[in-house]
Structure 1
Amino acid sequence: MRVAVGSTNPVKRRATETALSGVTDASVDAVDVRSGVSEQPFGPSETIEGARTRARNALDAGAFDLGVGLEGGVAEVEGADGLFLTMWAAVTDGERSGLGAGPRLGLPESVAARVRAGEELGPVMDDVLGTADVAERQGAAGVLTGEVIDRESALAAALAGALGPFVTDRYE
């Protein structure tokens, strides 16, 4: 089974490989596609739309059996204070689709304020940490949990949920 993940980010590719590790004939290709949403998706609707668009565009990028879209965003959560990092995954074969979510992680207010003001989370985290490309390593998830989880495992969990209709007959 040929699977396209709609991103060339190595973390997203590894997350896809991890989520598909139990599928013996799966091979994963990373393809550069557009999400159709802003660089920093805000709210679940925009983040889900980005994941779905990436999945469709990845599937259409070649002779693939499945398209995968992984999208990180930020959102306010009803009943909770603050701004949260969120992760969504979408999978499609052109006829069926699946959707899954990863953990929601509260952002420190100093980071949340900058994101609310229009900055993208990855560069804000790089600035706060005095580093570069945190989004291609442990991600904000790893930094904010002391490496209990990282971006790859959070995205893999979201994708595992989205794969349900493709790995079990429980959705028929």
Structure 2
Amino acid sequence: MNFKRRQNFQPSDKLLVLVGSKNPVKISCTEDAFTRAFNKSFLVEGINAASGVSDQPMGDQETLQGAINRAKNSRDVFPEAHYWVGIEGGLDEDEAGMFAFAWIFILDTTGKTSQSKTGTFYLPTAVSKLVKEGMELGMADDTVFNQENSKQQGGSVGILTHGIVDRNEYYRQAIILALIPFLNENLF
């Protein structure tokens, strides 16, 4: 986003949503989710915002903290927006294996916040092994599935569902769920 160009942002313009990532998938799914949820257009831009967590977050706590940090750091850099969105993908393990998920964190100009988590899915052993060796999930997917930059495309979920659920669709639903308090202000 060209911040100098947007310094003269006028209230009559579309509402501005800032995503704490330059990943085109995260920007696209945020725009789609806000448009569907509010039934109107938004200007959605991405910004490189620090997550403050590991490159490959592990567990709910670290992953949620990454989403919170991305949203708040976006607000700190560009407070003129109307909403700030943090999306952070993470991994965890249980007795069935390593699984993936993402946390969404949204805040608005009033200070209201909300969060939601995507569904989870298990990773193949070959991918999990590379992650345990220190590789970030996107790179592990690229290595195992002979892909290039898959995390800015369909991601793990797209690869493993053969495109039935891509990363855009995967995040979109969770973003809409995180918008529930903003859509029902009288209830929250």
Give the TM interval when normalised to the shorter protein: over 0.9
Match of 1:19 among 33, 44, 54: 33
Greater length-normalized contact order (CA 8 Å, ≥ 6 residues apart) = 1
CA deviation profile, 1:6-26 (whole Å, cap 9, x unmatched) = 000000001101111233142
- 1:131 deviates by 2.1
- Name the SS of the counterpart of 2:77 in structure 1: coil
- 1:60 deviates by 2.1
State yes or no: 1:83 paired with 2:98.
yes
TM-score in terms of structure 1 length: 0.93
Match of 1:74 among 91, 105, 110: 91
- 1:170 deviates by 5.6
Partner of 1:34: 50
- Name the SS of the counterpart of 2:170 in structure 1: helix
Q: 1:1-172 alignment to 2 at 5 Å?
A: 1-22=15-36, 23=38, 24-62=40-78, 63-77=80-94, 80-93=95-108, 95-169=111-185, 171-172=187-188
Alpha-carbon separation, structure 2, partners of 1:170 and 1:113:
47
Q: 1:25 to 1:119 in 2, by over 3 A?
A: same
Q: 1:171 to 1:115 in 2, by over 3 A?
A: farther
Q: Is the 8 A contact 1:87 1:154 kept in 2?
A: no
- Name the SS of the counterpart of 1:32 in structure 2: coil
Alpha-carbon separation, structure 1, partners of 2:114 and 2:28:
19
Between Structure 1 and Structure 2, whose CA radius of gyration is higher?
2
- 1:169 deviates by 2.6
Residues matched between the structures, number:
170
- Name the SS of the counterpart of 1:20 in structure 2: helix
Note the residue ranges of structure 1 that are not aligned, 5 or more in a row.
none
Note the residue ranges of structure 2 that are not aligned, 5 or more in a row.
1-14
Percent identity between matched residues is 34
- 1:146 deviates by 1.4
> Which structure 1 residue ranges, 4+ long, deviate > 3 Å from structure 2?
none
User: What RMSD over aligned residues (CA atoms) do the two structures have, in Å?
Assistant: 1.4
